[in-house]
Every structure is written in structure tokens, then in C-alpha cells.
Amino acid sequence: MQHSHPVESATVANLRDLGGIDLPGGARVRPGLAFRSGQLDRLDPAGDPLFAALGVRTVVDLRTAAERAAFPDRVPGGAHLLVADVLAGPEGSGAAGALAAALADPVAAGRALAGGRAAAALREDYRAFVASPAARRAYRQLLTVLAHRGGGPVLFHCTAGKDRTGWGASLLLLLLGADEATVRTEYLSVGPAVHEHYAPLLARFAAAGGDPAAADALFSVRGEYLDAALEALAEHWRDAEGYARAGLGLKDETLESLRERLVEAA
């Protein structure tokens, strides 16, 4: 399998199990331990048996303080919430703010983000996901939680589950040994779910006079965004292994535990 398995949750958008993705040598990502999704502001475990059955023990929220305040997570009972704000501090840049602006004032946002500026903001964000101090702290937290033996299933998310979450999933797969083609397939695979979830908002955005090209750039999953992150990683740390060690400060034992826990041999 080349991409994550969708979980048809009734209350969580874009929920997927990374388990089952093929790795070299006939191995695969172990199912039931690493999940990705959009925000959990509408989660209702009592009315969502498919989600409840996952047994999520830790939720890693990659969103900003403003996003968390506007749409707070509903954390499943017995689960621990870990905030790992990728865009915290002055390093935080365009995507989250642009998305909020687009929803609050489509006409003004359309003017501000027209002419390719929305896509450019996303590309800069992806570079920041790799290089900014806040992002490096956040992804170190995420990978450390995923590596924790006996920690149970982990769900990580941002707002739509496509950008900060998409890079988190990409980095995880690279460290588990996936090739770039598999990483790219997984990254792009969430596009239809994101578009379906945000279709009503896109319609309202267009009806209010928002620029359709800017909206498409903000709400799409594009290979050029992933390319920006991969280029930043290669420029500064050569590969994912070097990034994990020198960029994130992860120790050998953490990386070994991550692989032992999440890789299922052939």
C-alpha cells in the first residue's frame, strides 16, 4: 500500500491510519499506532464508534494558539493532549494566518493573496516547517511521542490535516525508510478529502468575491509545497537522518525506538 488508510470517522475530518504503507524490503508501517487528521473540534467518541475503536492515547496538536482558541480540540477520554505549535513565535508565517483571513474576509484576503502570493506563502511556510526553531521543537516532540514504547496509538493533526500534518507524516515516513515516491504519494493522497471537507467554505469564499486561484492555493495539496520542504531539508541537513539528528536533536535510541515500534517486518 502506497498511502494511508482512511478511517471513515463521523466527526473527525481527514482521519487516516499511516499503518500499512509499504517500506523497502517488504516491510510496512505497523497499523494502529500512527494516525493523522484534521482538527478535533467536532469529535464525539460516543457517536463515532470507528474513532473510539482506535484507542487513541495521545493527541499531538500542531496548531497555533489562535487556532486552538477558536476551535479547541475535544480530546477522547483517557488521552493526553500535547501542544506542539509548529508556527509559534516570530518564525510563524503565512499559511495559518492567510487561511484565517480568507475565512473571515474573503474579499480582502483575495486581494492580498492574488497574483500567486497565496502559493508563495505556502511554500515559505513549508520551508519554515523544516528550518524554524519552533517547527523543529514541534516535530521533535511529535517524533519523540511516536517513538515512546508502550505509549499506545498517537494521533497528530493541524487544522485541515494537510500542511503541518502532511510534513509531519512525510518526515516520519522518510525516517522509517520510505522512498520519496511513497512519501509524495502519501502527501498528495489527502487532497480529495480536504477538498470535500472545505467545499462549502470554498463556495462561500467564491460567492463573497474571493479570488478562486488564491482559495485553490490555500486549500489544495500541491507537490510544489512538499518540494519546498524537501529542498530546505537537503540544503541544511542533506537528508532526513541528518535532519533528525542535527536539526531536531534526536538521539540514536529515539530513532531506533521509532523504527522498532512503527516498522513491521515482512
- On whether the CB atoms of residues 7 and 43 are closer than 8 A, the answer is no
Q: Are 163 and 124 in contact (CB under 8 A)?
A: no
Estimate to the nearest angstrom the gap between the alpha carbon of 174 and the chain centroid. 14
DSSP 2-66: -SPEE---SSSTT-EE-TT-B-GGG-EEPTTSEEEES--TT--GGG-HHHHTT---EEEE---HH
Instruction: Indicate if 158 belongs to the active site.
Output: yes
Q: Which amino acid is at 205?
A: F
Q: Are 240 and 234 in contact (CB under 8 A)?
A: no
Q: Considering 158, 169, 233, 240, which one is annotated as catalytic?
A: 158
* CA 41 from centroid of its chain's CA atoms: 16
In the numeric block, the cell 511556510 is attached to: 125
Rama region for 132: left / alpha / beta (φ>0; ψ in -120 to 50; rest)? beta
Crossing angle (nearest 10°) for helices 191-207 and 94-104: 40
192 Cα distance to chain centroid: 15
Residues serving a catalytic function are: 158
